[in-house]
Amino acid sequence: MPSILMVSGGTLCKRWRMGVQVRKPGGHTSWCIVIDHEGERKTIAVGSRQAAERVKREVEARLALGGMAFLQPERPARPTLAEYATGWLKNVEHERKPSTTGFYGQFLRLYVLPRFGESRLDDIKREDVKRFISELVVREFAKNTIRLAVTTLRAVMNAAAEDELIENNPAQGLGRFVKSEKATREATSLKPKEVERLLAAARTELSLADYALIFTAVRAGLREGEIAALQWGDIQFDDSEEDADRYIVVQRKYDRRWSHKMLTPKSKKPRRVDISRELGRVLLQLGDDRLVKAFAKGKSDISDELVFPSEAGTPIEMNNFSERIFKPLLSRAGLRRIRFHDLRHSYGSLLIQAGASLAYIRDQMGHSSIQVTVDIYGHLIPGANVAYVDKLDQPTSPQQSATQPQQKAQLESDGFEEARPNQWLGGRDSNPDTQIQSLQSYR
């Protein structure tokens, strides 16, 4: 540390020059003030750079009045929650997906900052958080909203504790008792005959592109964002009817809600989804049509183009497609009202009932584990299980194991075709946004 020499009574005395700097040292998620005094250095985490600059001025002012003694009995003023949250949210942007950043930003703006924004971090006590929860309850917010608001506050305060701005997180453990009244949604799926009716109606009433989109959802089980992000270069077509090397590489999804950018899939890694012969033929027909149009414009390669773009060439807005195309199609086909995402559930259910292994379904659907597959789709095979209890009503006789022909006959009687290798394609639900954009945004 630089110093100056002064003469005192004929003796050279060394006095250290005091300095206060604003930095962001390695290992810290927040901006800090670094104080050098008499050969010692003290680093204090503050939060955002703006807050650090303000604390720096306060420290310098107090130093000018009374020296460094104030650092020992008391700490510099902590930033307000609003100041600290600004820097924290920027770190979240770098470390998390845009959907996570958007969620935290929304709940900070709507619930946390109006209540605690002007409070300094070390002034927020556990009783304050409890009163915050009570206030939200009195205002009759949904329990899930209250839980997520407390989750956001807890995340901010956790980071403040890691930066040693507070000793304990006052929101820790609170909010988990505010249980969501949101009912667990069981996966809804169409039966085989219903799928046939849907595809028959789509084939006769929709354009080739819209029919291919619905067919892809039913036969490949892609999520809505994955469908919107699908490019022609992601599809591997077979060379002949006997060629089983046909699949879709799912390597991105379109985030329509927060960033409006292409992101990695939900699993954060690509997956290969096998496709059926019929889906391959439909997509190939659509690709040939697009290639002819590209040739007319002097372009010979469409591998980097979207398979299902809007009329403007941008990623399709799936909510609009669902409202304007899919739901009216359900009515015309005489089918019950389901979500577009339920076509993905239908795909998983049909694979289970066709006899596909759980490991194969997990890989096709892009689930993190087989347990997820069982939890979501296990209840969708009642026809296959009820046969066992029906056998209890039969007269006592030597037990016979179910043979392959018996299983095949049972499936066919229920409306399922025999499962064959490579017959199937490919490998928070998104929160539905009821706002409908312009007509062009869906095709």
Domains in the chain: boundaries = 19-71, 81-162, 192-386+411-432
Question: What residues contact 85, with CB distance under 8 A and at least 6 apart?
Answer: 47, 108, 112, 113, 117, 156
Nearest to 93 by CA among 81, 80, 105, 108: 105
Average pLDDT on 314-327 reads 96
> To 10 degrees, the CA torsion angle through 418, 423, 425, 430?
-10
Dump the DSSP string for 244-258. Answer: ---EEEE--EEETTT
Average pLDDT on 378-388 reads 56
CB 59 within 8 A of CB 33: yes
Instruction: Quote the distance between the C-alpha of residue 96 and its chain's center.
Output: 10
d(CA 135, CA 127): 12
Instruction: Quote the mean pLDDT of the chain.
Output: 80
pLDDT of res. 54: 87
Instruction: Quote the distance between the C-alpha of residue 423 and its chain's center.
Output: 30
pLDDT of res. 21: 86
- Tell me which of 167-181, 232-246, 327-341 is least confident: 167-181
Instruction: Spell out where 120-269 has E strands.
Output: 235-236, 247-250, 253-255, 261-263
Q: DSSP label at 233?
A: G
Please, what is the Cα angle at 210 between 301 and 253, to 5 degrees? Answer: 65
The greatest distance separating any two alpha carbons of the chain, rounded to the nearest whole angstrom, comes to 117
Instruction: Quote the distance between the C-alpha of residue 30 and its chain's center.
Output: 26
Higher confidence at residue 153 or residue 177? 153
* 51-55, 198-202, 384-388, 414-418: range with highest mean pLDDT: 198-202
> To 10 degrees, the CA torsion angle through 331, 334, 339, 343?
-130
Phi/psi-derived region of residue 262, left when phi > 0, alpha when psi is between -120 and 50, beta in every other case: beta
Please, what is the Cα angle at 44 between 39 and 50, to 5 degrees? Answer: 125
Query: Percent of the chain having pLDDT more than 70?
Result: 73
Taking residue 32's Cβ as centre, other Cβ atoms within 10 Å add up to 21
Helices (H) and strands (E) in the chain, counts: 17, 11
What single letter denotes the amino acid at residue 441?
Answer: S
pLDDT category of residue 256 using cuts at 50, 70 and 90: confident
Secondary element (H or E) of residue 94? helix 81-95
d(CA 178, CA 171): 13
pLDDT of res. 76: 66
Query: Is the pLDDT confidence value at 86 over 50?
Result: yes
pLDDT of res. 238: 80
- Tell me which of 183-192, 280-289, 376-385 is least confident: 376-385
pLDDT of res. 364: 94
Average pLDDT on 8-27 reads 58
pLDDT of res. 328: 97
Model pLDDT for residues 38-55, shown as the tens digit of each residue:
566 777 888 788 888 888
Query: Is the pLDDT confidence value at 58 over 80?
Result: yes
Q: What is this structure's pTM? A: 0.61
Q: DSSP label at 169?
A: -
Average pLDDT on 358-380 reads 83
- Tell me which of 60-74, 107-121, 222-236, 417-431 is least confident: 417-431
What are residue 158's phi and psi, to 5 degrees? -60, -45
Taking residue 102's Cβ as centre, other Cβ atoms within 10 Å add up to 17
pLDDT category of residue 187 using cuts at 50, 70 and 90: low
**Pair of tokens at residue 178:** 């505010």
pLDDT category of residue 389 using cuts at 50, 70 and 90: low
Instruction: Quote the distance between the C-alpha of residue 101 and its chain's center.
Output: 10
pLDDT of res. 13: 38
pLDDT of res. 136: 92
Nearest to 215 by CA among 204, 199, 191: 199
Average pLDDT on 110-132 reads 94
Please state which architecture CATH assigns to domain 192-386+411-432.
Orthogonal Bundle (1.10)
d(CA 112, CA 86): 13
Bridge partners of 36, per DSSP, are 19, 41
Query: Percent of the chain having pLDDT more than 90?
Result: 47
Domain at 81-162, CATH class:
mainly alpha
pLDDT of res. 373: 83
pLDDT category of residue 77 using cuts at 50, 70 and 90: confident
d(CA 259, CA 256): 7
